[in-house]
Amino acid sequence: MTHAAFELSRPIRRDTSVVFASPHSGRAYLPEFLGAASLDEHEIRSSEDAFVDALFAPASLHGAPFLAASAPRAYVDLNRAPEELDPALIEGIRRVAHNPRIASGLGVIPRVVANGRAIYRGKIGLDEVHMRINRYWRPYHDQLQTLLDESHAQFGEAILIDCHSMPHEALDAVSSHNELRPDVVLGDRFGAAAANSVIERVEAAFAGAGLRVARNTPFAGAYITQHYGRPSRRQHAVQIEIDRSLYMNERRLEPNADYEAFCALLNDVIAEVVAIGRPVAQGVAAE
């Protein structure tokens, strides 16, 4: 099923409470957006979670729905609240209480891409902002909420796996020279977004595939994990950040020589994560 705001892959038979979603892998770059940007098409893709939609596409073959955004993160960030508006970018917005994401240029309409490079030459209008939110942000989140509601109705719980990638250099500040850096960082808002039994099983799935896993540092989860993670209501949200260097050339934005092997490895991980939400495992997952 295709929609202007997202692509939804449903399994032939849905047999798990797990829902996979990728809010940052969209790459439908509109010509008018690129024309208004001060960056070229390659530079503007530096914030994109390239290939994450392809990496997690097997989820629907294992019995779980997979929701992937169409709009690029540089155009509208689906992992921000719609109220996170940047007065340094958007005309007619008053400055509000300090928000570190907005201050760094990473509000719902980003002002910069990776390494702080400015997207625009000047400001954009509030009408344009509302159009992007209504056309792309709201349909994606409406569909995501529908999928979670369906999980609750069918299985009595919902487990959201929020799929992302991270630049290899993102871990430079948190990894010492004699410490092996993680391949995967799981974020559950330090336990606020998912039951410990859920994140332990997600971690075990990645670790069982030979990947080094860390939790919450340096990525604990942003708007999506915070908004949808309600373990007391049997709704769990776990953010997954995968080191891009494991499967792609970050400079060229191309798959590297390990891409196919990593896809095969991740397929097995996805199968393990899907199993967390099957009825036979629900008693464990919802503890």
At 10, the pLDDT band (50, 70, 90 cuts) reads very high
With a cut of 60, say whether residue 2 has pLDDT above it: no
Q: Exposed, middle or buried by CB within 10 Å (0-12, 13-18, 19+), for 254?
A: exposed
Choose among 281, 67, 80: nearest CA to 195. 281
Mean pLDDT in residue range 227-245: 97
At 173, the pLDDT band (50, 70, 90 cuts) reads low
Share of the chain above pLDDT 70, in %: 94
Q: Are 73 and 49 in contact (CB under 8 A)?
A: yes
Mean pLDDT in residue range 140-145: 98
Domain span including residue 191: 6-76+138-285
For residue 263, being part of any structural domain is answered with: yes
For residue 121, being part of any structural domain is answered with: no
Task: Please tell me the predicted confidence (pLDDT) of residue 180.
Answer: 80
At 49, the pLDDT band (50, 70, 90 cuts) reads very high
Task: Please tell me the predicted confidence (pLDDT) of residue 99.
Answer: 85
| Residue scoring higher pLDDT (125 or 179) | 125
For residue 10, being part of any structural domain is answered with: yes
In angstroms and rounded to an integer, the radius of gyration of the C-alpha atoms of the chain is 18
For residue 93, being part of any structural domain is answered with: no
Q: How many domains does the chain have?
A: 1
pLDDT tens-digit profile of 55-87? 999 999 999 999 999 999 999 999 999 999 999
With a cut of 60, say whether residue 185 has pLDDT above it: yes
Task: Please tell me the predicted confidence (pLDDT) of residue 3.
Answer: 59
For residue 98, being part of any structural domain is answered with: no
At 286, the pLDDT band (50, 70, 90 cuts) reads very low
Buried b (16+ CB within 10 A) or exposed e, 190-224: eeebbbebbbebbbebbeebebebbbbebbbbbbb
Mean pLDDT in residue range 214-232: 96
For residue 12, being part of any structural domain is answered with: yes
pLDDT tens-digit profile of 98-127? 788 999 999 999 999 988 899 999 999 999
Mean pLDDT in residue range 182-200: 97
For residue 221, being part of any structural domain is answered with: yes
pTM above 0.85, yes or no: yes
For residue 118, being part of any structural domain is answered with: no
pLDDT tens-digit profile of 243-260? 999 999 999 999 999 999
Q: What is the mean pLDDT of the chain?
A: 93
Task: Please tell me the predicted confidence (pLDDT) of residue 197.
Answer: 96
With a cut of 50, say whether residue 287 has pLDDT above it: no
- Identify the CATH number of the domain in which residue 238 sits: 3.40.630.40
